[in-house]
Amino acid sequence: MAPVLTVNNLSKSFAGPRVLDDVSLSIEPGEVRALVGQNGSGKSTLVKILAGFHVPDSGSVEIDGQSLHFGVGSVSDALGMRFVHQDLGLVDSLDTVDNLALGGAGYASYAGIKSGAIKWRAERRRARKSLDDLGYDFDVKRPVGALAMSERTAVAIARAMATRGAPPKLLVLDEPTANLPAAEAERLYALTRRVAASGVAVVFVSHHFDEVFELSSSVTVLRDGKLVTTCPVEGLTEEALIELVIGRPLEHVEHDVKTVERRSVILEVENLATDGVLDGVDLSVHSGEIIGIAGITGSGRDEIAPAIFGGLHRSGVVRVAGKVVPRQRPDVAVASGIGLVPAQRHTNAAFMSSTLRENITVTKPALHFKNLVLRKSSERADVNVWLERLDVRPRNCEFAMSDLSGGNQQKVVICRWLRMEPKVLILDEPTQGVDVGAKADIHRLVDEAAEAGTAVLVASTDHEELVRLCHRVLVVRRGRVVDELLGDRLIPDLITAVTIGRDQDAAA
């Protein structure tokens, strides 16, 4: 059988090392091909080249023997390639009919138009037929923002599969289950099988190895931009696939185990849930303890910190020192003793045009007010002590935040909370985008905070960082805590193995 997709020696660079390096592969009609690899392996770059977003440095792509002209999305579409990206690209305020109409000529012209008016009844029938073909039946008049995640995914796939020009020949699903609970993921698997059974080839980009074995007939592994292998899933073990992805056997080495005297519980989280992501997370952190949160993108790792702090709508109970912290109230969270260093420093933490002094004292400026007048000399003296302690350079509290390096900016954000002597310090990607020296300084500050009795929660994609800092690490998958790693199980490779889908018993 002739392949529907042929990729020949594709390479791509972005002002530095190659992110895609001489990659070749082919996929046959009706085949479900998993595409796997760690972050930075080249998966997203490959998908974006196929979709017309990037132009490769070299190489070629053919669809059913026709050459793909790069850099124009409409050309990919005209040749029969369809894409469903992780964010789905839906407009929540519009209903299913309107969202399907955004997909191109098949719906955008509203085939039900007559005498200048849209025949909505006919359009709704067409929308229901498209969904029925995929095994779904729900009210197409509801805003898609009110639909379940699996139903929203079905709308995106129905839009992708609509006939416009060339019929669909290849469907690329980019992390389609990242935000789906397990039960809804099963519905997506069934949908994918129906699409493949119709003769359409499917590329299934995933970090979840359990679904690779559940759904795919073959798997392509990328690592550091290079093709490692393409092989049948049958006969492949999960451990062998993990070794192909990380490039070495799983290591089980001796290391220094961090221990802490169990003191009183400071942070308690019970049945934490958010819309469509977290699904009943329980955790507790003792005084002086550093707990890590690990998980791939879409697992729920990114939602835990803001949900506890009050930045996301959530259900469940959060207690600090036995007292309940109400939902969606960051101000009360701060008053209760919680400090948060978010992952996106520039957008969610730092005031880039303000001074270091203003960035540090913003959490409690009243400390330096007297008779409603700000005593700047007192404020400067306070801030300078902290800049010295944290080795922020330059040590000028009147410098603008934007004048500092990324590592020093992060120190300032952390300083903001350490100055408050928090009961709980939550750090989301605390050393993301900082240099080696700043990273070591930040780790030292976290250690010192814990030694002073602060309960510390660290969410990070840097598994070596989690091992360096934490007494134990909780692994989140599909919105739930699936494993707790501590002692001699707390090693980077094992964290990686559990986050990408290895069962708890196997990981043990």
The DSSP call for residue 479 is T
What residues does each domain of the chain span? 1-80+167-249, 92-147+157-164, 255-337+423-508, 356-421
The whole model's pTM is what? 0.63
Establish whether domains 1-80+167-249 and 255-337+423-508 are of one fold.
yes
1-80+167-249: CATH topology is: Rossmann fold (3.40.50)
Nearest-angstrom CA–CA distance, 231 and 179 = 27
What DSSP string runs through 385-429? Answer: HHHHHTT-SS--TTSBGGGS-HHHHHHHHHHHHHTT--SEEEEES
Q: What are the pLDDT tens digits along the chain (508 aa)?
A: 789 999 999 999 876 678 899 999 999 999 999 999 876 688 888 998 998 888 999 999 999 999 999 888 788 888 888 888 877 888 889 988 888 887 654 444 455 555 557 778 888 888 888 888 777 888 888 998 888 777 888 888 888 877 666 788 999 998 777 666 566 677 778 888 988 999 999 999 987 777 889 899 999 999 889 999 999 999 998 888 888 988 877 654 444 566 667 689 999 999 999 987 899 999 999 999 999 999 987 789 989 999 999 999 999 999 999 999 999 999 999 999 999 999 877 778 889 899 999 999 988 777 777 777 777 888 899 999 989 888 887 788 998 998 787 888 889 999 999 998 999 999 999 987 676 667 888 899 999 999 999 999 999 988 889 999 999 999 999 899 999 999 989 998 899 889 877 544 444 4
- Least Cα distance to 26 among 184, 162, 220, 190 occurs for 220
Determine the CATH number of domain 255-337+423-508: 3.40.50.300
Q: Which helix (H) or strand (E) holds 272?
A: strand 265-274
* Pairing outcome for strands 290-294 and 455-459: parallel
